[in-house]
Structure 1
Amino acid sequence: MLVILVASVVLVMITILVLYETLRLTSEHLAELPVPPRWRIIAVVLAAFAGHTVAVWVYAGAYWLLVLRLGLGAFSGVPIETFEDCLFVSVVAYSSLGYGDHAPVGHARLLTGVEALNGLLLIGWSASFTYLAMERYWPLHGKAHAHRAARSRHPADDEPGRERLVPPTAGP
């Protein structure tokens, strides 16, 4: 049990650092990207997805080592025999999806519970980061559209019902 407790703490620390560094690097280099604001927001989402993917693989490696190789805990249900099986268990636990194909037994219960809580917190963190990026870059998208629209103004644009969903922000 002590090994699983220590492993849980180490896994939480590793995954927090992975997501922290992913978001930090994304934040530092996002403004430098020579792409429109829409692609910057997409870059944020893809970076967060990559960080979560690494976290899931870290936990899958822990299941492979601790459960399959060292025998600390087990899973009932569909047999878990390969790293790919461990990866599936990790995705299900991290996302709190809980298919029910595999039920943790023994010490693996603690590890999957910690992974679910860790995943919930990290997904919330990346959602907040994505929101902040959208808050920063969404208005820029509107400004670019407003500038294009001003250059190619058409009388039909003044018809009722053709208003923008999100009005462009006022320039400086």
Structure 2
Amino acid sequence: MLSGIVAALLVTVAAVVASVLVHYEVAIRISRKLEYWQLALRGRFLVLFMALFGAHLAEIGLFSVALIGLQALPDTGQISGSEAVSLWDYVYMSAISYTTLGFGDLTPEGGMRLLLSAEGLIGFMLITWSASITFLQMQQHWAVGDE
């Protein structure tokens, strides 16, 4: 049982660190590219939103893979509520945790609760980080009227 908790903790820490690094890389690279490309205001925000949306999807995918990996390890829990858990069930669990919507028909058990709880917290933080990046871009470029 203790080895399952340790495994869940290690997988959780790895997924959190990886998702923060993914978000950082996308945020810094898109910010630099937007300054270099000198796009019109609509184009700037379309590129920004799509890049940040892609980062969030990648992070949800990363946590989905972590869930699948955790499921394969002994004593780390499972997802209950469905007779056969599919790939899309893992993606669904990850997405509803990341966006802090909460659980529906599927619920985590054991160490998976740790991973999904951490995903809810880091997802909220990364979503607000994206909102801050967007706000800073708006503040910088809408005041100038870069249409």
Shared fold, TM over 0.5: yes
Partner of 1:31: 35
Q: List gaps (5 residues or longer) in structure 1.
A: 145-172
State the shift of 1:138 in Å.
1.5
Q: List gaps (5 residues or longer) in structure 2.
A: none
Q: Residue 32 of structure 1 aligns to a residue in which SS?
A: helix
In the alignment, does 2:91 pair up with 1:87?
Answer: yes
Letter in 1 for 2:82: V
Return the structure number with greater relative CO, CA threshold 8 A, min gap 6: 2
In structure 1, what is the Cα distance between the partners aligned to 2:41 and 2:84?
44
Letter in 1 for 2:86: T
State the shift of 1:70 in Å.
2.3
Q: Residue 54 of structure 1 aligns to a residue in which SS?
A: helix
In the alignment, does 2:122 pair up with 1:101?
Answer: no
State the shift of 1:23 in Å.
0.2
Partner of 2:60: 56
Task: State, as a whole percentage, how many aligned pairs show the same letter.
Answer: 32
In structure 2, what is the Cα distance between the partners aligned to 1:143 and 1:30?
13
In the alignment, does 2:19 pair up with 1:15?
Answer: yes
Equivalent residues in 2 for 1:1-172, closer than 5 Å: 1-67=5-71, 69-71=72-74, 72-79=76-83, 81-140=85-144, 142=145, 144=147
State the shift of 1:41 in Å.
1.5
Q: TM-score, normalised by structure 1?
A: 0.77
Number of equivalent positions: 142
Letter in 1 for 2:117: G
Q: Residue 31 of structure 1 aligns to a residue in which SS?
A: helix
Structure 1 stretches of 4+ with a deviation exceeding 3 A read none
How large is the Cα RMSD of the aligned pairs? Answer: 1.5
Larger helix share, 1 or 2: 2
Question: Which has the larger Rg?
Answer: 1
Compared with structure 1, are the counterparts of its residues 106 and 143 closer, same or farther at alpha carbon in structure 2 (3 Å cutoff)? closer
